[in-house]
């Protein structure tokens, strides 16, 4: 049985990647699964961290442009952490490690965009810091890569991470409060 996690990292769930002309394939389905995982984390009292990419001028995620904002269905609530980043690894140049250590988090679930870039780099960063990682396989996504469908790119990105991660579906991941207490405790 899958052990629960005490933190959810939502990587780059930004409007420009999830809606409109710049959206990844199957974005609306991904938003639904992200919302499901987010609701489960919130209801259990898990730590929720939103990573938000600050793209270069003229890109879909340029700061303060429409595409940069976190998708409306996934917007942070007041007690959730939002960390802006400028590199693929969500640990690099952010307070992510400090937040996780402060909250005594050792096991995280990771979801978001893009599978082979920021998701992979952040998972590798977490593993390098000794964290246990659960990658929610149906709650991360990316673009097609030339003639390779996005679903294949995502699967290859998962397998490239090796056997140190746990792969689960959105319906299977469970959460607890940091410190091991569930929402009732």
Annotated catalytic sites, by residue? 118
- Do the beta carbons of residue 149 and residue 49 sit within 8 Å? no
Give the contacts of 64 (CB within 8 A, at least 6 positions apart).
none
> How many CB atoms sit inside 10 A of residue 185's CB?
9
- Do the beta carbons of residue 77 and residue 151 sit within 8 Å? no
Please, which residues bridge with residue 83 across strands? 51
Q: Which of 85, 77, 27, 28 is nearest to 48 (CA)?
A: 77
- How far is Cα 111 from Cα 38, in angstroms, rounded to an integer? 9
Q: Which of 72, 115, 117 is nearest to 92 (CA)?
A: 117
């Amino acid at each position: 049985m899958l052990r629960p996690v005490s933190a959810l990292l939502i990587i780059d769930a930004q409007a420009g990647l999830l809606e409109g002309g710049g959206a990844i394939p199957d974005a609306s389905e991904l938003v639904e699964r992200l919302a499901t995982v987010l609701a489960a984390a919130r209801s259990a009292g898990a730590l929720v961290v939103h990573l938000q990419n600050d793209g270069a001028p003229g890109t879909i995620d340029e700061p303060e442009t429409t595409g940069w904002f976190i998708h409306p269905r996934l917007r942070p609530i007041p007690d959730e952490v939002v960390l802006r980043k400028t590199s693929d690894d969500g640990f690099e140049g952010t307070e992510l490690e400090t937040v996780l250590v402060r909250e005594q988090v050792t096991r995280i679930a990771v979801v978001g965009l893009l599978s082979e870039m920021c998701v992979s780099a952040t998972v590798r960063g977490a593993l390098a810091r000794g964290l246990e990682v659960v990658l929610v396989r149906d709650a991360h996504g990316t673009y097609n890569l030339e003639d390779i469908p996005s679903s294949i790119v995502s699967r290859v990105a998962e397998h490239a991470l090796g056997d140190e991660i746990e792969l689960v579906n959105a319906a299977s991941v469970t959460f607890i409060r940091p410190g091991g207490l569930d929402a009732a405790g």
